[in-house]
Amino acid sequence: MKKKDRQNFEGRISITLPLPSDLRGRQSVRATFKLSERSINAMSIISTHLGIKQKSLFDHLIEDAQALDLIANELESDSFAELDRIQKTYVVSRRTLSSLGEIAKRFDAPRDALVEYSIRRLLPIIKEEKEKHRKRKEILEELSEYNKLGEKILEKSKKLLGSNDPVYDKLESAMAYNRNTEKNIRSFVQRGDIIEEFQ
């Protein structure tokens, strides 16, 4: 594209340019919180199970200002103080950390408590995913039995028809596909086994 054409092209389109302050808000920073082991595990499990980076998950939870406001309003400092907590450092965006600090200050609420109860919003998701995981295992078991039967039929067709027969060839292709499907599902289910550890 010639320089002149590029100028004409750019002149026809009106777009909002990103502000430096917006871009700086996306910078990653490290922040340490004192949280319950259960909440730390919940973050780790959901991140692993759903394939989401912990930073993205953390930002998603904390950037929900409406939810944070509700948590801050309902917060019971006494029950939070009774929790056994350990230090955990997360990578978060600068904007997320700033938003968290503002809400903690506005409601005079402990920052760690806001994070703790924000993470607890993941618990129903874990419960739902646990049940799905159980069903996936059940389906995988049935698929494995189905493939074992398919292997027997394939072997029988080889004996009766020979390996050069078109029917055997089609069965062999189908079984190769089924084996690969079972392998991929098994790998997915095994990665999700971590969710069974969560109590």
CA 146/CA 117 separation, integer angstroms: 45
Domain boundaries along the sequence of the chain: 25-124, 130-197
Least confident of 19-23, 27-31, 69-73: 19-23
Per-residue pLDDT tens over the stretch 44-102: 888 888 888 888 888 888 888 788 888 887 776 667 777 889 999 998 888 888 888 88
Residue count (the chain): 199
Please give the model's pTM, rounded to 2 decimal places. Answer: 0.70
Q: What is the mean pLDDT of residues 8-29?
A: 60
Q: Which residues contact 92 (CB under 8 A, 6 or more apart)?
A: 28, 29, 30, 31, 55, 58, 59, 62
Residue 158's CB is within 10 A of a number of other CB atoms, namely 15
Residue 9 has a pLDDT of 45
Burial of 188 (0-12, 13-18, 19+ CB in 10 A): exposed
Q: What is the mean pLDDT of residues 30-47?
A: 91
Average pLDDT over residues 173-190: 95
**Residue (of 127, 75, 85, 96) closest to 30 by Cα position:** 96
- What does the pLDDT look like over 132-144, one tens digit per residue? 999 999 999 999 9
Instruction: Give whichever of 19-23, 72-76, 191-195 has the largest mean pLDDT.
Output: 191-195
Is the model's pLDDT at 188 over the cut of 50? yes
pLDDT score recorded for residue 8 = 45
Listed in sequence order, the DSSP H helices in 63-195 are: 65-74, 77-81, 94-107, 111-119, 123-161, 166-191
Residue 72, Cα to own-chain centre: how many angstroms? Answer: 25
